[in-house]
């Protein structure tokens, strides 16, 4: 006999909604689900103070760490700004124009010493002649002439636009190449003062204008003195117009230097293992260095030089 399938009709209240549709649930299943949900709710309520306390602790720790980082940042020493380049000072007033005013510039001349010669100067000025120029364009031309000289090693060169009546079309610029003013030496090295000052003076001799090559030569020759560390030069505004003062600071080098070295590159006749050593004393008499003898060779064959 064929079996019959029986279907049971349930009221809508006994159908449970799920994210994917309706699910048919029996009474025991509904009681189990309700018990589980209640238990979960009670567990969440019971753990709420602990969670709140943990969150508050984490927030407090984060706040303390943030305050410590801020305090550390505030207490750190502020780095000193890099010293600005001291340019030669010009006491005469400079040309001023209104923002919209332009001048027809027919020709431009340059006053002051021009070590580079007229050809390189004309190459900079020629594109601006025969044009109406604003104040910004006039200063742009002066800056290009300044950059030309600085690129050639004239560290403090500066081009100015002095006050003048340029309505006739004749514009005059003034170039200050920069000359040495007072040169002072702060010697803290092992070398005596006279030798350090003489070395710097000799390196700068014959250079009335401030050039990078002369300053570098003075620094290198001073550093070559036994007992002198790496010197530094600081530029300041000079007393005379167009001049800059220089201060050379010379730190000390270690009094003693030496080394001991071993290797196995020796010849078979004298032994593969080699040992060599050397010792030098910087400026024991404040003016020279003493290099001690060096011995080298294998334990069986040693030479002294």
Give CA 261 to chain center in angstroms. 37
196: domain CATH number?
Answer: 3.10.20
Q: Would you give per-residue pLDDT tens digits along the chain (305 residues)?
A: 444 444 444 444 444 444 433 344 444 444 544 444 444 444 444 444 444 454 445 445 455 555 555 555 444 444 444 444 555 555 566 777 777 889 999 999 999 999 998 899 999 999 999 999 998 999 999 999 999 999 999 999 999 999 888 889 999 999 999 999 999 999 999 999 999 999 999 999 988 899 999 999 999 999 999 899 999 999 998 888 889 999 999 999 888 888 888 888 878 877 778 888 888 787 777 666 665 655 555 554 444 44
Query: Which structural domain range is residue 211 located in?
Result: 179-250
What does the buried/exposed string (b/e) look like for 54-64 if buried means 16 or more CB atoms within 10 Å of the residue's CB? eeeeeeeeeee
Residues with Cβ within 8 Å of 71's Cβ and at least 6 positions away in sequence, in order, are none
Could you tell me if 106 and 171 lie in one domain? yes
Q: Report which DSSP code applies to 259.
A: E
Residue 37 near residue 23 (C-beta atoms within 8 A): no
Could you tell me if 207 and 151 lie in one domain? no
119: domain CATH number?
Answer: 3.10.20.310
What is the rounded CA–CA span in Å between residue 166 and residue 174? 14
Residues with Cβ within 8 Å of 166's Cβ and at least 6 positions away in sequence, in order, are 95, 103, 105, 172
Within a domain: residue 221? yes
Could you tell me if 108 and 170 lie in one domain? yes
Within a domain: residue 192? yes
Q: How many domains does the chain have?
A: 3
Could you tell me if 281 and 241 lie in one domain? no
What secondary structure, in 3-state letters, does 191-231 show? CCHHHHHHHHHHHHCCCCECCHHHHHHHHHHHHCCCCECCC
The pLDDT, as a whole number, for residue 132 is 94
Within a domain: residue 59? no
pTM above 0.75, yes or no: no
Domain final residue, candidates 176, 207, 232: 176
Within a domain: residue 70? no
Best CA proximity match to 117, nearest among 68, 182, 57, 177: 177
Within a domain: residue 16? no
The pLDDT, as a whole number, for residue 219 is 96
Within a domain: residue 155? yes
Domain final residue, candidates 146, 176, 206: 176
Within a domain: residue 211? yes
Could you tell me if 221 and 279 lie in one domain? no
Within a domain: residue 46? no
Percentages of the chain per state (helix, strand, coil), in multiples of 5: 35, 30, 40
């Amino acid at each position: 006999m064929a079996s019959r399938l029986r279907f049971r009709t349930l009221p809508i209240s006994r159908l449970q909604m799920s994210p994917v549709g309706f699910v048919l649930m029996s009474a025991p299943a509904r009681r189990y689900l309700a018990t589980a949900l209640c238990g979960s709710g009670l567990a969440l309520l019971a753990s709420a103070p602990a969670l709140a306390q943990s969150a508050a602790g984490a927030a407090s720790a984060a706040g303390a760490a943030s305050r410590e980082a801020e305090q550390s940042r505030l207490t750190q020493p502020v780095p000193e700004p890099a010293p600005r380049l001291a340019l030669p000072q010009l006491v005469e007033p400079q040309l001023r124009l209104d923002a919209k005013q332009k001048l027809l510039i027919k020709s431009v001349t340059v006053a002051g010493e021009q070590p580079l010669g007229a050809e390189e100067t004309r190459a900079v000025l020629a594109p601006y002649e025969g044009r109406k120029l604003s104040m910004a364009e006039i200063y742009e031309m002066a800056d290009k002439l300044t950059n030309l000289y600085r690129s050639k090693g004239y560290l403090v060169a500066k081009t100015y636009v002095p006050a003048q009546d340029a309505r006739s079309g004749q514009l005059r610029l003034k170039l200050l190449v920069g000359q040495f003013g007072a040169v002072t030496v702060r010697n803290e090295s092992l070398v005596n003062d006279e030798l350090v000052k003489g070395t710097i003076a000799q390196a700068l001799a014959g250079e009335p204008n401030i050039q990078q090559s002369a300053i570098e030569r003075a620094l290198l020759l001073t550093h070559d003195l036994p007992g002198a560390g790496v010197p530094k030069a600081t530029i300041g505004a000079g007393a005379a117009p167009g001049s800059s003062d220089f201060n050379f600071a010379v730190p000390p080098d270690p009094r003693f230097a030496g080394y001991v070295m071993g290797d196995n590159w020796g010849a078979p006749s004298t032994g593969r293992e080699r040992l060599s050593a050397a010792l030098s004393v910087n400026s024991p008499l404040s003016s020279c260095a003493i290099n001690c003898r060096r011995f080298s060779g294998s334990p069986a064959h040693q030479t002294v030089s």
